[in-house]
Amino acid sequence: MAKIGFLGTGIMGKPMALNLANAGHSLFLSTHFDAAPAELLEKGAVALANPREVAQEAEFIVVMVPDTPQVEDILFREDGVVHGVGSGKVVIDMSSISPTATKQFAEKIKATGAQYLDAPVSGGEVGAKAATLSIMVGGCPNTFERALPLFQAMGKNITRVGGNGDGQTAKVANQIIVALNIQAVAEALLFAAKNGADPAKVREALMGGFAGSKILEVHGERMIKGTFDPGFRISLHQKDLNLALSGARELGLNLPNTANAQQVFSTCAAIGGSGWDHSALIKGLEHMANFNIRGE
């Protein structure tokens, strides 16, 4: 069993860390930005003062925070991870952040003699709790094999995509697909309801055909019931689409549908929905249509 530092125990991070503890691994947590969750302390996790101390104690250091600046802070602050790692240690960033920044972070960590994997996840809070996350990994093959038992404790579909940064690139691609599918489901249900059909029955009919999807199954139900407590917040999906659109500009690409989905998310944010689940994209469309499929 491994000694694992886990930095970032929020909506996603806490259940992921619990799954590692349940698999028998030893956990070290930092209290520099928040108190250690009681559930993890009950599992034997050790709370330390800062990321440097965590990195000194652990063989693997997992980072799971919202965005690029938070990863940079945890890694390179005065008492950050970089000051506690060296040969034999592996830093695993499971956040969803910039592929370009990831390559820079990896080089700085590897300069200490440690290894670096970017390993963002897909599957939301449900997948984190059930240990069924899809994990997209960038880094060298040998380091990936060393970390594989950790990934297997947290997920099911685990793929090494390529070198550092490629895991993050795969996650951005994932977020494009998810956003556009959410928008497709939302537009279809809005069209059906405005045309006088029962959107719940339309969803039921579509589930058995070629339009059937996980998004239609899970998020379509959320849209119909109006249950938008966040599994994955709109603000975070906006962040991921910003990564897609800024990357597209660097590559000279046009991603028109991604840009359109981002605009609908921006409408949601403008009406107070930054903290809603991303399935609430439909509320942005409803706002523009002045029509609600739930009859509210």
Annotated catalytic residues are 171
Would you state the torsion angle of the CA atoms of residues 118, 35, 11, 248, taken in this order, to the nearest 10 degrees?
A: -40
Sort strands 121-122 and 133-138 into parallel, antiparallel or unpaired: antiparallel
How far apart, in whole angstroms, are the C-alpha atoms of residue 232 and residue 238? 11
Q: Are 139 and 151 in contact (CB under 8 A)?
A: no
Which ranges of the chain does DSSP label H, i.e. alpha helix? 13-22, 38-42, 51-57, 68-76, 99-110, 124-130, 141-154, 166-194, 199-207, 214, 220-225, 234-251, 256-270, 281-289
Q: Which of 141, 160, 183, 150 is nearest to 58 (CA)?
A: 150
Greatest C-alpha distance within the chain: 65
Q: Which of 52, 103, 110, 53 is nearest to 81 (CA)?
A: 52
**What is the DSSP track for 53-67?**
HHHHH-SEEEE--SS
C-alpha distances (whole Å) from 111 to each of 83, 108, 147, 165 are 12, 5, 20, 17
Helix (H, G, I), strand (E, B) or coil at 23: coil
